[in-house]
Amino acid sequence: MSAGPTIGILDVIRTKRDGGELTDRQIQWFITQFTDRTIADEQASALLMAIVWRGLTPRELATWTAAMIASGERLDLSTVGRPTCDKHSTGGVGDKVSLPLCPIVAACGVAVPQLSGRGLGHTGGTLDKLETIPGWSPFMSNDAFVSQLREIGAVIAAAGDDLAPADRRMYALRDVTGTVEAVPLIASSIMSKKIAEGTDALVLDVKVGSGAFLPSIDQARELAATMVGLGLDHGVRTSALITDMDQPLGLAVGNAVEVTEAIEVLQGGGPADVLEVTLALARRMVELAGGSVDPADVIASGAAMDVWIAMIAAQGGDPHAALPVATERETVGAAASGYIQRIDARKVGEVAWRLGAGRARKEDPVSATAGVLLRRVAGDRVSAGDPVLDLHLDDPSKLAAALESLDGAIEIGDTPPAGRVFIHAQIDEGLS
């Protein structure tokens, strides 16, 4: 039986460039060759840009995602002994939800196998935040990962090199070629890793607004439905919530400051918006996993905090240690009197990034202590000069650029703004 005509990378690029559909064989060949590094980066970049412009059909996307999953191993969580459900966020400013969410859901009897990443640009990374806890490490073997999941019920760790390696290399290339913001590429990147992770169920937190990758609700719905469809097609019970990221989530934006705020939530406090989003995601996760415990009850009982302490300690961290604090602070006051209408999430994220809390390249170091604390939020009445933001930093030379990025971030008007909606939609069906 013939193996079919020889496939060449130029034919693959031209087909997609000209609006044609790639065959399953072409896609599988490309992902295999790309993972093996036999295709030049500039050729892969050309195909990725063609996909940005031409898109992928549902069939192409399904094959593309399956090939990325097949490029590495798939974790086996069958010995965990309880249902598993993970959560993935598309990223935002002040989005520390994973930190309290994992122990909350675990305390409800659902194991949470979360493989997370580091921040890039104006969005923070879960691993960067947790690494501000003295001794804590994200690195562990697959056996240790499954063992901790079995014994404690929650793990937040770095993905191993053998899990969807095609995505690891492709994401790095997309990041430097302007091909990140494309729904098919975002969806396949996220879902290939999450499906390979082996979880029974998955809840997606798709952010929308100025601080999100996709600022419009229509784009967010398309991405959510695309990812839900991919999950369902691979036998993973998948649901998505579209949540607000037009303004920062909570009052803390940074690394150590966000850990502090997450612990406040586990202690029964914390900002109302962080608690609302966390509980909405937790309830959906417990529901998809077939549980019946109310996540609010495990916060009130202290059971969620117990899981947090055990989870941090199991990965070498000291859950009772003091977190690092910045050596310098600068307060930003209101430019006028009135009601705060909005505090722009992207601008605040850029300020935190310029202060040192984020990175421009994956290999860049980040500051544990740099960040922004909101003293006021939308709806608050202020007088000119009242403190609105506190900037935390260790390097005074970074302050001027940070203040420049803050220009126009705080909008003040004469009348109170409309109430903010935190949960915009729930998506349970994929695109047809």
Cα–Cα distance measured from residue 111 to residue 107, given in angstroms and rounded to the nearest whole number? 9
Q: Give the C-alpha separation, 360 to 366, whole Å.
A: 10
d(CA 8, CA 30): 9
Pairing outcome for strands 85-89 and 423-427: unpaired
- Give yes or no: 169 in active site: no
Question: What backbone phi and psi angles, to 5 degrees, belong to 384?
Answer: -55, 130
Catalytic residue among 167, 244, 246, 273: 167
Rounded to whole angstroms, what are the CA distances from 364 to 89, 119, 238, 356, 361? 22, 10, 34, 10, 5
Residue 80: strand, helix, or coil: coil
DSSP classification of residue 160: P
> What's the CA dihedral at 101, 133, 360, 46 to 10 degrees?
-50
Contacts of 67 (CB under 8 A, 6+ apart): 27, 28, 30, 31, 32, 166
**Would you call 233 a catalytic residue per the annotation?**
no
- Tell me whether residue 122 is one of the annotated catalytic residues: no
What whole-number distance in Å separates Cα of residue 55 and Cα of residue 173? 18
- Using CB atoms within 10 Å of the CB of residue 137, give its burial: 0 to 12 exposed, 13 to 18 middle, 19+ buried: middle
Please tell me which residue in 188, 189, 367, 405 is annotated as part of the active site: 189
Tokens matching residue 366: 């980040």
Inter-residue contact 210 to 245 (CB < 8 Å): yes
CA distance 17 to 11: 10
Q: Name the token pair of 215.
A: 């600022």
Q: What angle do CA 195, 198, 201 make, to 5 degrees?
A: 75
Angle between helices 58-70 and 217-233 (to 10 degrees): 60
C-alpha distances in Å from residue 74, one per residue of 23, 60, 86, 238: 25, 21, 15, 18
Task: State the catalytic residue, choosing from 87, 174, 237, 342.
Answer: 174
Segment (H or E) for 205: strand 201-208
d(CA 224, CA 425): 10
Tokens for 123?
């969005």
Q: Are 252 and 260 in contact (CB under 8 A)?
A: yes
Residue of 16, 54, 88, 118 marked catalytic: 88
CA distance 30 to 33: 5
Task: State the catalytic residues.
Answer: 88, 167, 174, 189, 193
